[in-house]
Structure 1
Amino acid sequence: MTKQSSDDPQIEPFKGPAGGWGSVRSLADILPREHLGPEGYRELARQNKPDGFMCVSCAWPKPADHHPAEFCEEGAKATAWELTRYRTTPEFFAEHTLTELRGWKDYDLEQHGRLTHPLRYDPDTDKYAAVEWEAAFDEIGGALKRLDPKSVVFYSSGRTSLEASYMYGLMARMFGNQNLPDSSNMCHESTSVGLKAAIGVPVGTTQLKDFKETDAIFFFGQNVGSNAPRMLHDLRDCRKRGVEIVTFNPLKERGLERFTDPQNPVEMATLKETAISTQYHQLRAGSDIAAIIGICKFLIDWDDLAKADGDLPILDHDFIAQHTKGFEDFAAAIRRTEWADIERETGLAREELEASARIYAKAKAVMAIYGMGITQHVKGVESVRMIVNLLLLRGNVGKPGAGPTPVRGHSNVQGQRTVGITEKTELVPVEKLEAQYGFKAPREKGLDTVETCRGVIDGSVKAFVGLGENFLRAVPETGRMEEAWPRLDVSVQIATKLNRNHLFAGRVTYLLPCLGRIEQDAQASGPQAVSTEDSTSCIHGSRGKAKPASPYLLSEPAIVAGIAKRILDDNPKVDWDGWVADYSTIRDAIEETYPAIFKDYNKRLFTPGGVWKGNKASERIWETPSKRAEFLTPGDISATGFKDADGRYRLITLRSNDQFNTTIYGYHDRFRGIKGTRDVLLMHEADIAAADLAEGQIVALESDADDGVHRRRNGMIVTPYDIPRGCLGAYYPEANVLIPVEHHAEESHVPAAKSVPVRICP
């Protein structure tokens, strides 16, 4: 195992582009560090190829016309992380108590290597010990059956395949609950709620081909260089043909500034770069609603003038009249909004928003790409809907090259919802499941992530089964959650590597190691394939071929089936063992439940470019109550959910270039020039001076929520950075300790991690 020191931080600006030689050097570091043999390099060549495996990190599509190396720096790191030669064996746990391991850093826990054996926690020794699979399933089943099903939570990670997700959701409902929170609750639930209300579908409407037909792209709150780098190829192609890219983001992210294609020998040899954004607006955290109001205000004013002068209209009035509802109320509210309020909230000048509006007005087809900088606010759903409002003004939904394009995180987080991982009855064909499997499904809403956190803290949640993810690290309210977790009756974690959540045990606790997606999954009928859904609603087959990290690993479907057979009565309509023996039979069952989406599922599994599942809004069929796309009149120009005050800052939690979600690959955030530490506090130089602080000073942050709970993050290094005044930046998940569980998006319950009220303390 290779430990990395965080005792000697180095902070200096990075001057290079995204991609380029910096990306190559980063891979040259991690690939040998994980001791990848020839097999590992062969697997990289199969990554995101039509007959290969779907990347285990982000959900950007596998294109039909792929590059020779269809992986990015982050994807290669994820592959190396999974195929590492390091192992975490029972002997390791014999040497270390869980109390001791809590002092390890996140990086060091996962870097120790792949888990090799199923493990049971022994409270007498405070250690894990190896156990047989059947014994583990028996005790887990017995412990869960003694509980009220409504007190059990079945959480799942976006890395889980469609096949395992379908089985998992079915198991929970047959057990008696819909407590099925997942990664979506953490990030894009605001999208699912907002888009569903506005245009009738909970997902974006665009596909890869739309990049070839768009005239302009508006980018909101998404760091493409670190979170979906393969998209840079599409953005680069757009810029080469003159597409304007207008970016709104509090921080300058290098992937949205400059890009050198690592797969282009000429660009690498000549150090040639492509400028990605044609306009870059650094607005204050949570002020996207105000910025979009400003753009809409220009468009509506110009349209009013054009109408008065008899000129051609700016807005698409035919589309608005035929396809939308609520325009007049929306337009009236926009006209009433004062420019002084817009400029104060955004920190942008009126002229900057006018420049953006002019690009939007002249474009025939506009894509709006956004990420968690939009969704993770108290008004996250309203922020999503404001993006839709902007698109609707000129008919930019349901035509080539146009539409909302949310960028999902985990590789199958969108697909899980498609096959039933949700706490909401209305999103699942429960009557179909009842007829198919002969049981009575629950109808009451289950627990989402925020409600699960509440239940763990107040004791109403008695058991937690986690199919992947580092839940305790990913959720808000870290301190209270870690304090409450040992009161659980049952804690079951299914994972590939050790993480911090595994170090907090309930009364009955198991750590169950599973196969990774890149590894060969051999079952009774032979090697198996699985499937995932990408950000653009295309479904792809994925086939692992690498040798498993241990002969004692089981696949996710096998583990789900093992638990299901212990907690459910025998049911002749559900052949758990048959499903595990041949995953094509799981896909047959999925097709029976969702025939419109999964027609000829097995036959089309490895279609190059994936199989698009269809999207009614892209056809301008609006499955809303009014049967029209609906404008939303915003209630507030700020998405933060709190008022500005003296000494109060808006904290933005950030991901490093050297991490994916809670997984830390190292201590080098190359694009931000930060190396050797994650304990930085990014501040505007004028804010540092105004607060009488100094560069390099060690300070603490405290939550400024008015709820009587003390939350503090110590040991943070004051670091001057190009960030809007009044805003701070700190790394996720370490900063989650400052986020109250009740600081979340109002309708979607997504933790509001992109604008957290905090104060700086000695």
Structure 2
Amino acid sequence: MVTDESSKNADDLPHSPGPAGGWGSMKGMARVVVQSNASPGALDSLRRLNKPKGVMCMSCAWPKPANYSAFEFCENGAKATLWELTRDRCTPDFFAEEGHTVSELRDWSDHELEKAGRLTHPMKYDAASDRYLPIDWDDAFAGIGATLRDLPRDDVVFYASGHAGLEASYLYALLARVYGNNNLPQSSNMCHETTSVGLTKVIGSPVGTVTFDDLAQTDCYFYFGQNPGTNSPRFLHNLKDLKDRGGKIVTFNPVIEQGLVSFVDPQNPLAMLTGKETIISDQYHQVQSGGDVAAILGLCKVVVEADDAAKAAGGSEVIDHAFIEQHTTGFDDFIACCRDTDWVDIERASGLTEVALREAAQVYIEADKTIGVYGMGFTQHTHGALNIAMLVNLLLLKGNIGRPGTGCCPVRGHSNVQGQRTVGIAEKAHLVPLDKLKALFDFDPPTKDGMHVVDAVQGLIAGTVRGFISLGGNLVRAVPDQKRMEEGWAAQDLVVMVSTKLNRSHLHPGKDAYILPCLGRSEVDEQATGNQAVTSEDSFSMINGSIGHRPPASDHLKSELAIVTGIAMATLDPNPKLKWDEWTGDYALVRELIEATYPHDFRDFNKRMFEAGGFWRGNPARERIWKTDSGKAVITTPPQLTSLGFADKPGRYRLLTMRSNDQFNTTVYGYSDRFRGIEGTRDVVLMNPDDIAEAGLEDGDTVRLVTDYDGDDVERQLGGLTLVAYKLPRGTIAGYYPECNVLVPITHHDELSKTPASKSVPVRVERAVETG
């Protein structure tokens, strides 16, 4: 494996975790079987995961192959399933126990709150006792509806976490618009909204362009800021397949992620017996946080030089000039930028050497078909959209979008985060066919744009948001500026949380606060016409059906869709076109509404929902139809060489937040991050050994991080962190999400999409002050 001078082989890291997959993965799943106290039927649920007429995994949005294996799940999916099917229960008796007031529960860790088990009854907060008390469903809906009717329409937010199926999501968006606003922020606002906005600007599509067929045909991956070993382990099989057929993988990531170093296939008996591992990355370049713009410009500079040399020698062109001429705009200005930018500036901004970038570019030049892959390490920067534009530039130079084996591949997080946007959960009014909603349901949809998550949090802090409905999620813990967010959250007139388990957002109740417990995706959803199926959309725009089969955790649970319709009927004026009861009894009727609203994407929805691998809803950019202002793909000349929104200065570091191997989003399964060698704690900050020495600190010191932000005067700090010497680029440090969210200012976000810039937060590192 070729590495840059600023990189080291995984064997040389302070902590040597061994390959991804293999027995480590099996042990991780076995440990969660015990810790989760999963029901015996959970193993049957795992057998059904990601198969036709089975259960679609509730964790990541990695696609489901048509030619599925016997065990079509990964460690992450297994953990999510087992965690959902725990036998532990958080009943009304739990809240009545001594030491379980809401104020006392705030001292519990995220993991301890999750371990309380599945919520079993609808609950309402009682301020006099500081406890949640059980409430009848009808009374809960009536109370929620009465408060919603009294609140100004613009002051209420309808948030969705990315889990609920397409059916519930469609009706949730309809509820908000009939209520009177487009305040429909969603979890993608915090992760891949940069993709939705950035890709739309340059190729006219808000989502990636690849399909599973492309993965099987590509020669090469260029991989940026994504960690498949923890966040999408089933992708490792596709990466291994490429390596088995002789393809190349070039990775750019500040942190050496073991899933991109080596992999032992746990479904291969020989590999498990022998420990035979597949080396994943042929080159691994530890670009400094915020340095991707310069790194990609360096790659493009080498491609341009090679093309110039080939033309001068009368050889075959390297750049696909015919494609460029027919399908793009902005080429000449960008090529001039490539030629004019000095290597010394590229090296300084990227943290990589010219030699390393030339080696990487040579792989790109020699590959016939390349796919560009990226995750939140790419999107969560002040100029994250510029990162995406630069990757698109690189792909466009050789026509690597819109032909088999090529394309842009953003790896999405939550299982239906992309699909919820598709069916109307969007704060931007122009993204939704309001005219069709008006015709179908005989009301006038609001046309004013609603609130993004950043707007909602700012409104909560300012006291202008007075009501919040949360369809899943743990928003208080998930967003930046957590301390200020907690205060604003608790000041609201109404907080409604649709949840499966207890989380920190429940512990800062508003004046009226409700917990509405819902079914899990693996559980039977029995309605008037029988057990209901739900659908979701994966990262490749494939639509899949899912049917639960396990008994519900409680007889008092309702489905997400039934909760949405219950709130709607208690809140909205009667309208014969709004058939909430009928839709609750038969989800197929809701799919007919989705098809009527989005006929191109959902043709024959009910007939096709169980096709193996799902059905593809289409993507114009994949067909080289560019729905941009110019009608062509846009090649972008970068106005700067970093994706940062701040300057370096002595003592200022770039903090990137990351997830451990033992978590999914804000759900913490345990305290084992085996890929980084960190066990038993999450209170750490990783730092380059040379940076530690230069700062006068030592490995193992207790330190605090203090935000060093020029945008406001708010004090933000996180203490009690153990300093861990780690192989990172100089000036880049790393800590865990969501703990580090207290350090991220809500105004520190991507300029184009408002996605929080959680992968490059300006901070100082200070030795903890001893007391006593």
The TM-score range, normalised by the shorter chain, is over 0.9
Q: State the match for 2:7 in structure 1.
A: none
Q: State the match for 2:288 in structure 1.
A: 284
Q: State the match for 2:152 in structure 1.
A: 148
Cα offsets for 1:724-753 (capped at 9, x unmatched): 110100000000000000000001000000
Q: State the match for 1:725 in structure 2.
A: 730
Q: State the match for 1:108 in structure 2.
A: 112
Aligned length: 752
- In structure 2, distance between residues paired with 1:339 and 1:32: 54
Within-5 A mapping of 1:601-680: 601-680=605-684
Aligned residue among 749, 752, 755 for 2:757: 752
Within-5 A mapping of 1:686-725: 686-706=690-710, 707-725=712-730
Within-5 A mapping of 1:317-332: 317-332=321-336
Q: CA deviation at 1:110?
A: 0.7
Q: State the match for 1:4 in structure 2.
A: none
State the 4+ residue runs in structure 1 displaced beyond 4 angstroms.
none
Q: CA deviation at 1:593?
A: 0.6
Aligned residue among 39, 42, 45 for 1:40: 42
Q: State the match for 1:554 in structure 2.
A: 558
Q: CA deviation at 1:311?
A: 2.4
Cα offsets for 1:256-286 (capped at 9, x unmatched): 0000010110000011000001110001011
Q: State the match for 2:580 in structure 1.
A: 576
Cα offsets for 1:703-737 (capped at 9, x unmatched): 00021000000000010111111010000000000
- In structure 2, distance between residues paired with 1:235 and 1:306: 31
Note if contact 2:39-2:86 (Cα within 8 Å) is conserved in structure 1. no
Q: Secondary structure at the match of 2:608?
A: coil
More displaced, 29-38 or 542-551? 29-38
Cα offsets for 1:332-356 (capped at 9, x unmatched): 1222211111101111110100011
Note if contact 1:190-1:747 (Cα within 8 Å) is conserved in structure 2. yes
- In structure 1, distance between residues paired with 2:159 and 2:341: 42
Within-5 A mapping of 1:367-386: 367-386=371-390
More displaced, 671-680 or 88-97? 88-97
Note if contact 2:38-2:83 (Cα within 8 Å) is conserved in structure 1. no
- In structure 2, distance between residues paired with 1:296 and 1:730: 32
Q: State the match for 1:6 in structure 2.
A: none
Q: State the match for 1:56 in structure 2.
A: 58
Give the letter for the 1:141 counterpart.
Answer: G
Give the letter for the 1:523 counterpart.
Answer: Q
More displaced, 164-173 or 337-346? 337-346
Give the letter for the 1:559 counterpart.
Answer: I
Matched, 1:431 2:435: yes
- In structure 2, distance between residues paired with 1:81 and 1:337: 51
Cα offsets for 1:197-233 (capped at 9, x unmatched): 1111100000111111111110000001000000000
Note if contact 1:247-1:279 (Cα within 8 Å) is conserved in structure 2. yes
Unmatched 5+ residue regions in structure 1? Answer: 1-10
Cα offsets for 1:594-637 (capped at 9, x unmatched): 11111111111110010000111111111111111111111111
Q: Secondary structure at the match of 1:602?
A: helix
Q: Secondary structure at the match of 2:607?
A: coil
Q: State the match for 1:441 in structure 2.
A: 445
- In structure 1, distance between residues paired with 2:721 and 2:360: 36
TM-score where L is the length of structure 2: 0.97
Q: CA deviation at 1:567?
A: 1.6
Cα offsets for 1:27-73 (capped at 9, x unmatched): 11111222323311111100111121110000001111111111100
Q: State the match for 2:511 in structure 1.
A: 507
Q: State the match for 1:27 in structure 2.
A: 29
Within-5 A mapping of 1:202-217: 202-217=206-221
Aligned residue among 101, 122, 127 for 1:97: 101
Cα offsets for 1:538-566 (capped at 9, x unmatched): 00000110110000000000000011112
- In structure 1, distance between residues paired with 2:575 and 2:294: 55
Matched, 1:410 2:414: yes
- In structure 2, distance between residues paired with 1:552 and 1:38: 22
Unmatched 5+ residue regions in structure 2? Answer: 1-12, 768-772
Q: CA deviation at 1:305?
A: 2.5
Give the letter for the 2:528 counterpart.
Answer: A
Q: State the match for 1:158 in structure 2.
A: 162
Q: Secondary structure at the match of 2:61?
A: coil
Note if contact 1:106-1:499 (Cα within 8 Å) is conserved in structure 2. yes
Note if contact 2:204-2:627 (Cα within 8 Å) is conserved in structure 1. yes
- In structure 2, distance between residues paired with 1:12 and 1:527: 52
Cα offsets for 1:223-244 (capped at 9, x unmatched): 0100000000011000000110
Q: State the match for 2:746 in structure 1.
A: 741
- In structure 2, distance between residues paired with 1:559 and 1:426: 27
- In structure 2, distance between residues paired with 1:14 and 1:499: 33
- In structure 1, distance between residues paired with 2:115 and 2:60: 20
Q: Secondary structure at the match of 1:91?
A: helix
More displaced, 32-41 or 427-436? 32-41
Q: Secondary structure at the match of 1:552?
A: coil
Aligned residue among 231, 234, 259 for 2:235: 231
- In structure 2, distance between residues paired with 1:290 and 1:565: 54
Cα offsets for 1:627-660 (capped at 9, x unmatched): 1111111111110111010000000101000000
Q: CA deviation at 1:14?
A: 3.6
Give the letter for the 2:186 counterpart.
Answer: D
Aligned residue among 377, 387, 395 for 2:391: 387
Q: Secondary structure at the match of 2:605?
A: coil
- In structure 2, distance between residues paired with 1:56 and 1:441: 31
Note if contact 2:415-2:536 (Cα within 8 Å) is conserved in structure 1. yes
Q: CA deviation at 1:12?
A: 7.0
Aligned residues: CA RMSD: 0.9
Q: State the match for 1:529 in structure 2.
A: 533
Aligned residue among 294, 309, 312 for 2:313: 309
Q: Secondary structure at the match of 2:121?
A: coil
Note if contact 2:384-2:750 (Cα within 8 Å) is conserved in structure 1. yes
Matched, 1:70 2:72: yes
- In structure 2, distance between residues paired with 1:344 and 1:672: 27
